[in-house]
Amino acid sequence: MEVAEQRSKVVEAYIQAFEDRNAEAVMALYADEATVEDPYGTEPIKGRDAIYAFYQKAMDLNARLSLDGPVRVAGDIAAFPFTVRVTVDGKRQQLEVIDTFRFDRQGKIIEMRAFWGPLNSQEI
Amino acid sequence: MEVAEQRSKVVEAYIQAFEDRNAEAVMALYADEATVEDPYGTEPIKGRDAIYAFYQKAMDLNARLSLDGPVRVAGDIAAFPFTVRVTVDGKRQQLEVIDTFRFDRQGKIIEMRAFWGPLNSQEI
């Protein structure tokens, strides 16, 4: 399987693990030295424990992810557009995001960045 | 106008300039020291003359761009999904891309990166 396909499959596995609310399955995709910057421009989260806690929290909120287009793979990065839907305090909200995953040589995610801002959130 | 809105408008102006086949209007959005890395992972194009030539060539091919979702603005970056449609040697092709624009303090694009790979191109 070529590299672009492998990286697309990691993104699919990520979305599925989220759908299954399986934070361990998400962590299996990450390198030990990974960072998560969500949104981009804020202080990155570093290390497995902190990243696990980040995903567990999102899953506890019952956040749902859906891909909004194909995964784009270039160089060591996969980029993909998706929507997060979540209910907070009884209000349904959606957030439109683009994530980039940078991969290490073992095919693990070494850097995740999420691109979203104030214009990308709305009540639904 | 807040920063996220300003940056979204730069992306809209970029798409429109492309639609108008106006390479000068594209260049007006770029900083003098800008780089263009298309696709990400290849040697970046540097400097106004080289970037202008890059866009002029794409416009000569009559490439058409259409946004496939909202512009995501985070920190100093705008990210957006789009499709390029172009006819080469009588064959209609489409390429699904995510671009990131990094902005300098003057609101000009200082770094463009295009994310696409072999899985993102198809005949239509």
Residue A56 lies in a domain: yes
ipTM: 0.95
Domain count, chain A: 1
Q: Domain range for residue B81?
A: 3-118
In the predicted model, what is the mean pLDDT of chain A? Answer: 96
Owner of token pair 């696990």: A52
β-bridge mates for residue A37, sequence order = A113
- Position B124 pLDDT exceeds 90: no
Question: Confidence class of residue A124 from pLDDT cuts 50, 70 and 90?
Answer: confident
Residue B123 lies in a domain: no
- What's the CATH code of the domain at B50? 3.10.450.50
CB contact under 8 A, B73 and A2: no
| Beta carbons within 10 angstroms of residue A11's beta carbon | 22
- Position B35 pLDDT exceeds 90: yes
Which of B98, B101, B111, B113 should we substitute to test contact with A (largest number of A Cβ atoms within 10 Å)?
B98
pLDDT given for residue A89 in this prediction: 87
Q: Decide if B90 touches A, using CB distance below 8 A.
A: no
* Interhelix angle B48-60/B3-19, nearest 10 degrees: 50
Owner of token pair 């009540």: A123
* pLDDT tens profile A6-44: 999 999 999 999 999 999 999 999 999 999 999 999 999
- Position A100 pLDDT exceeds 80: yes
- Position B97 pLDDT exceeds 90: yes
Query: What distance in Å separates the CA atoms of residue B96 and residue A70, rounded to the nearest whole number?
Result: 7
Question: Confidence class of residue B80 from pLDDT cuts 50, 70 and 90?
Answer: very high
**Cα angle at B66 between A41 and B41, to 5 degrees?**
50
- Position A86 pLDDT exceeds 80: yes
Q: Decide if B36 touches A, using CB distance below 8 A.
A: no
Q: Which residue of A has its CA nearest to B68?
A: A69
In the predicted model, what is the mean pLDDT of chain B? Answer: 96
pLDDT given for residue B73 in this prediction: 98
- Position A74 pLDDT exceeds 80: yes
Residues in B closer than 8 angstroms to A97, CB to CB, are: 72
Question: Confidence class of residue B64 from pLDDT cuts 50, 70 and 90?
Answer: very high
Identify the DSSP state of B47.
Answer: S
Q: Decide if A8 touches B, using CB distance below 8 A.
A: yes
pLDDT given for residue B89 in this prediction: 87
- Given a contact cutoff of 8 angstroms between Cβ atoms, the answer to whether B32 and B48 are in contact is yes
Residue A124 lies in a domain: no
| Beta carbons within 10 angstroms of residue B8's beta carbon | 21
* Section B36-47 average pLDDT: 97
Q: Decide if A119 touches B, using CB distance below 8 A.
A: yes
Q: Prior bond to A44 cis, omega within 30?
A: no
Residue A24 lies in a domain: yes
Residue B124 lies in a domain: no
pLDDT given for residue A1 in this prediction: 62
* Section B60-88 average pLDDT: 95
pLDDT given for residue B1 in this prediction: 62
Element (H, E) at A32: strand A30-37
Query: What distance in Å separates the CA atoms of residue A27 and residue A63, rounded to the nearest whole number?
Result: 17
- Position A52 pLDDT exceeds 90: yes
Give the whole-number percent of chain B exceeding pLDDT 90.
94
Residues in A closer than 8 angstroms to B68, CB to CB, are: 68-69, 81
